[in-house]
A and B are shown apart, each in its own frame.
Chain A
Amino acid sequence: MSILTYIGIQGGSVRRASLEVLSQCRKLAAAQGLAVEAVLIHPQASDFVAQVQRYGAQKVYTVEDPIFEQHLNAPLVGALAAVIEQAQPRVVALASSEAVKDVLGALAARLDAPALADVSSFELTEAGVRARRPVLAAKFIARVEAEGQPVLVSVRAGAYDAEEAPAQAEIEALPFSFDEAKPRPTLREVIGASGGAVDLSEARYVVAAGRGVRDEEGKKLIDELAEVLGAAIGSSRAVVDVGLFPATSQVGQTGKVVSPDLYIAVGISGAIQHAAGMSNSRVIVAINKDADAPIFNYATYGLVGDLYVILPPLIEALREAKG
């Protein structure tokens, strides 16, 4: 019996969130006397095996096919279903991402397996899995339970720490076959795939801009602050709407969930739908000219004032501090 972790690969490397989930699965497996296994699905899946071994997987399934160069739901569901049929795990854990959200429901239906989406913690029970998940725009936690085998669980980024525990893993390459005749969406193009910049959902530092950032000058200040810190850039829906920031940077209920060590919210009011994506950050800084803005309820440090006046000296001071 095993716990199987799906290892996501993004921009040529293993997602840290997947290693967080793998680390947690290793602990749960050890406590229950289960094996901890991982699955890599990528055109060059074997390139990533060493990294997965470092985090303690005892068995790694690989599925290699050029089709996995781009995210496409139909082949990914097919490959995951085939690996799960082969591995017969008690639980399948996946680090949540847009790619995972895209396939989880279909995979659950295909395997006739119960699914718990976007949990912030989970544990094994005799009959399945018990978990906690934020609900109602992350205002509350629901304690949920699933019974069956396997249970599919997707886990929010930052829920656990990634801890190395090297193991020698057995490797099993599984063939991939795909029913080309079955209707499926065809990919026409991928727009604005971000390359080298710090990935938002994995970043240690995030600088996020809201409607208070109203022009290119404000955007330049955000860029500079992010650069000094080595931070990823996040945003509220308001500035994505007006086209000042890309949709991939949106943090919140519709956007991404982040939990960096430091989140600096600049000119963001702190609507619950925004907070849903960032309230779990360790240190939160809010910069807002309205002392009553709800964002201050989340802030470790709140600065009341005009961002256009506060950011230049802040960038300066941080640059000095960094030496």
Chain B
Amino acid sequence: MKFSVCIKQVPDVAAPIQVRGGELVHDTGRLVLNAYDASAVEAALVLTEAHGGEIDLVLAGPQAGQETLRKALAMGADRATHLIVSEEADLDAATYAVLLARHFDETGHEVILCGKQAQDTDAGLTGAMLAEKLGLPYVTNAVRLEQEGDTLVVTRQGDTGQEVLALTPPCLVTCSNDMNDPRIPTLKGIMQAKRKPLDAREADLPGAPRTRVLGYENLPEREPGRVLDGDPADIARQLANLLHSEAKVV
């Protein structure tokens, strides 16, 4: 099967980030491949290694996104498209879905993989929006992906259990990071990635978005807690008392 994986570059949530004057300030400015998209790339690699096929990547975003595309190429994908969007554009999921849909209308597509959500926004909208725009059947929140001949068998994590669904390409699947542990690119992979085709072009922006971020705030602080240290049986009893008489929860 031919896989097209949509990947997004996101700020590293583990790096220090602060709110100053309503804006997010990333001190290190470090950007990484969205963890959920890394799992989508890994899933495509596992299936193409076992059954043959190829993997295209597409990323919409500022110039800096190229680094993330190279990283996913180094994992083993075959080629990449970079739809360049200026840093100031401030697009929303719906506009990214339009950009991506136009791209796939041009290039064609078989299996499109997305992350189930972007690690920075946790919005989780783009995948299903894109599927609807392309008129594709889709499954979200996949925790397992298998190929049976021409059929994709997807296990998705639902509210109370897992649903096993079968679908035939063309189709779209959004991936959870609970699906696998993405491989770390090898030195050889990194060298090869430099020679893989990467087509970069200015994205043609589809009108003004109707959702926007007005600003950022810190979370309200939690009241500082109390640490109980000492004899285990003692602190266990103290806790039971506190839950009852102070916190009044039990």
Interface residues of A (CB under 8 A from B): 10-11, 70-71, 73-74, 77, 97-99, 101-106, 108-110, 114-118, 128, 130, 132-148, 182-194, 199, 201, 205, 229, 237, 240-241, 247-248, 250, 253-254, 261-262, 272-273, 276, 279, 282-285, 291, 296-306, 309-311, 313-314, 316-318, 320-322
Complex: how many Å from CA A47 to CA B97?
Answer: 38
Q: For residue A193, which residue of chain B has the nearest CB?
A: B161
Given contact pairs A139-B13, A304-B227, A310 touches B232 in the complex (Cβ within 8 A): yes
> Which of the residues A109, A142, A192, A306 comes within 8 Å of B132, measured between beta carbons?
A109
- Contacts A106-B128, A139-B17, A272-B14 aside, 13 further interface pairs with beta carbons under 8 A come to A70-B163, A138-B122, A145-B214, A147-B211, A187-B163, A190-B163, A285-B243, A291-B227, A302-B225, A305-B232, A310-B232, A311-B236, A318-B243
Contact-residue size bin, chain B (C-beta under 8 Å from the other chain): 35 or more
Q: Could you tell me if B122 and A118 are in contact, using CB atoms closer than 8 angstroms?
A: yes
- Interface residues in B93-143 by Cβ distance below 8 A to A read 93-94, 97, 116, 119-133, 136-141, 143
Q: For residue B242, which residue of chain A has the nearest CB?
A: A301
- B119 CB, min distance to chain A CBs, angstroms: 7
Query: In the assembled complex, which residues on chain A have CB atoms less than 8 Å from the CB atom of B226?
Result: 300-302
Q: For residue A191, which residue of chain B has the nearest CB?
A: B162
- B210 CB, min distance to chain A CBs, angstroms: 4
Given contact pairs A117-B125, A186-B165, A291 touches B229 in the complex (Cβ within 8 A): yes
Q: Could you tell me if A146 and B237 are in contact, using CB atoms closer than 8 angstroms?
A: no
Classify the secondary structure of B's interface with A: mixed
Classify the secondary structure of A's interface with B: mixed
Complex: how many Å from CA A288 to CA B162?
Answer: 31
> Which of the residues A108, A188, A199, A248 comes within 8 Å of B161, measured between beta carbons?
A248
Query: In the assembled complex, which residues on chain A have CB atoms less than 8 Å from the CB atom of B125?
Result: 104-105, 108, 115, 117
Query: In the assembled complex, which residues on chain B have CB atoms less than 8 Å from the CB atom of A189?
Result: 163-164
Given contact pairs A106-B128, A186-B167, A296-B225, A99 touches B159 in the complex (Cβ within 8 A): yes
Given contact pairs A98-B157, A282-B249, A314-B236, A141 touches B219 in the complex (Cβ within 8 A): yes
Query: In the assembled complex, which residues on chain A have CB atoms less than 8 Å from the CB atom of B126?
Result: 105
Q: For residue A146, which residue of chain B has the nearest CB?
A: B211
- Interface residues in B139-163 by Cβ distance below 8 A to A read 139-141, 143, 153-163
Given contact pairs A143-B214, A254-B177, A254-B178, A104 touches B128 in the complex (Cβ within 8 A): yes
- A122 CB, min distance to chain B CBs, angstroms: 12
Complex: how many Å from CA A182 to CA B161?
Answer: 26
